[in-house]
Amino acid sequence: MKQPISSVLAVAAMATAFPIQAQQQGATSMLVLDGSGSMWGQIDGTAKITIAREAIDTMLGDWPMDTPIGLMAYGHRQEGECGDIETLIEPGPLDRSAFREAMEGVTPRGKTPIGHSVEQAAEALSHGDQAASVIVVTDGLENCGADLCELGARLEASGMAFTAHVIGFDIADDEGQLACLAESTGGRYLAAGDAAELAGALRTVSEPEPEPAGPLFVDEFERSDLGDDWTLDHPEPSGFIMDDGKLVTMTVQPGAMGDAEDLPNLFRWTGAEFPEDDWDLSADFTARMGEVKSLGGRRAIIQVGRYADVDNHISAHVVRQGNSNDDMWLRLRAVSGGNATVSDVEIAGDLRGYDLAQILSDFEQKGARLTLSKRGRDYVGRLEMNGWSMQEDGPDVIETDPLQVLRTKGDPTIFAGTLGSEQTIAEFSRVEIREVK
């Protein structure tokens, strides 16, 4: 998601209390109020235009003083005129009484030019490298001929750091135009229901966006030895070194995390601990996982997880099966009391249109981030490629389906292994634990 410096809030009829991107402190904003004829429609006996005015005024009561804001409206002056878009208040320090007066002067009459409004907002607030976002909240579909999918694609390809979020009220978006505008610019399409949801959404977007929380624990291996923060199960010194800010580990016998009591060189991060609630454990790595072979390749494995013992652990894997198809998988495996549960997603295969040789090269040269993610009782394995993807135009982030686990225990742990006779070499450059609020 792009981080906006300036924002356009297009408020048509209703919004939602679902999480959406918050207003960045100090950013310039433009509130665009829908004045199309459908705003005379009622919700629980109250006209939608009245609900929108009241919700906006409530939001402005908590508006940050250092955040300039302006007001636009469309469809409020002429019937059937798609160009009826007007800036009512130029962006500047908030004058709440001026906003009230201007909104009272918006009398619903006309059409719903969503595309023209978004484009005009983008042109007005996106200059040079300045970023912008638009939040469109509409009680109707585009009816002025704009192709919202094409517009979103064009805005995304323009080089502007521009994001459109679209919120629809009581709308059957059968052709997906509203969703397409949002998703093609990296935004979200959300549905809305009533006045309370509108007030909640406006309150959400008016709050300053919090600074991203840093990791609770991080290790970048900038030293000559493993150090006291790490415990090595069954150490085999010939199988690892610290080299130029990396932990370089090489398998010395076949196996994977949890396969055997005496598995050598299982790296436990005992100097770090998991928070009580939600978290991400991530490891940045490069790995030599072999070459393409006609009868299957190296059975290599990279793991990050929470490890107590062979009967109690959970880990995310990148696994090269090394079978006749020479396929690769992202795997999430949970073991509790010796009972295993697995969630798999195939990420590459020699016979499925993937350039396996290039993928292996990218793992070795560009690297990736492997994450075990906890959200409540759900655990997910995630692989983030470092500027590359498995296929042309493919995703650069892949996740497993979640596994539900009631409780886990153990230390943050990393491991590089093999399921066959050939070695796997991995270089871990960073490991972190991040608390997720």
d(C-alpha 218, C-alpha 269), whole Å: 10
Q: Which residue, among 77, 69, 61, has the nearest Cα to 28 in the 3D structure?
A: 69
**What contacts 64, CB < 8 A, 6 or more positions away?**
23, 25, 26, 206, 208
User: Would you give per-residue pLDDT tens digits along the chain (437 residues)?
Assistant: 333 333 444 444 333 333 344 455 445 777 778 889 998 999 899 988 898 888 889 888 888 887 777 788 888 999 989 999 998 888 779 999 999 999 999 999 999 998 898 888 878 776 545 667 777 778 888 899 999 999 988 988 887 777 777 777 777 888 889 889 888 887 777 777 788 887 776 776 666 655 567 899 999 999 999 999 999 999 999 999 999 999 999 998 999 998 888 999 999 999 999 999 999 999 999 999 888 776 666 789 999 999 999 999 999 999 988 766 778 899 999 999 999 999 999 888 766 678 888 888 999 999 999 999 999 999 999 999 988 888 877 788 899 999 999 989 999 999 999 988 888 999 999 999 999 87
What element of type H or E holds 317? strand 312-320
Give the pLDDT score at 368. Answer: 96
d(C-alpha 148, C-alpha 115), whole Å: 6
Rounded to 10°, the helix 148-157/177-184 angle is 0
Query: What's the token pair of residue 330?
Result: 């992202």
SS3 348: strand
Q: CA 429: distance to chain centroid?
A: 23
d(C-alpha 22, C-alpha 19), whole Å: 8
What element of type H or E holds 163? strand 162-169
What element of type H or E holds 86? strand 85-92
Give the phi and the psi of residue 285 in degrees, each rounded to 5.
Answer: -150, 160
Give the pLDDT score at 330. Answer: 95
HSE value, Cβ hemisphere, 13 Å, CA-based, for 252: 14
Give the pLDDT score at 35. Answer: 87
SS3 content of the chain, % helix, strand, coil (to 5): 20, 35, 45
SS3 94: coil
Q: Which residue, among 350, 319, 349, 348, has the nearest Cα to 332 in the 3D structure?
A: 319
Give the pLDDT score at 12. Answer: 42
Is 0.85 surpassed by the pTM of this model?
A: no
Q: What angle do CA 251, 420, 418 make, to 5 degrees?
A: 35
| Cα-based distances in Å from 387 to 94, 170, 350, 354 | 41, 39, 21, 17
Q: Rg of the Cα trace of the chain? A: 27
CB-CB neighbours of 77 under 10 Å: 15
CB-CB neighbours of 324 under 10 Å: 11
Give the pLDDT score at 4. Answer: 34
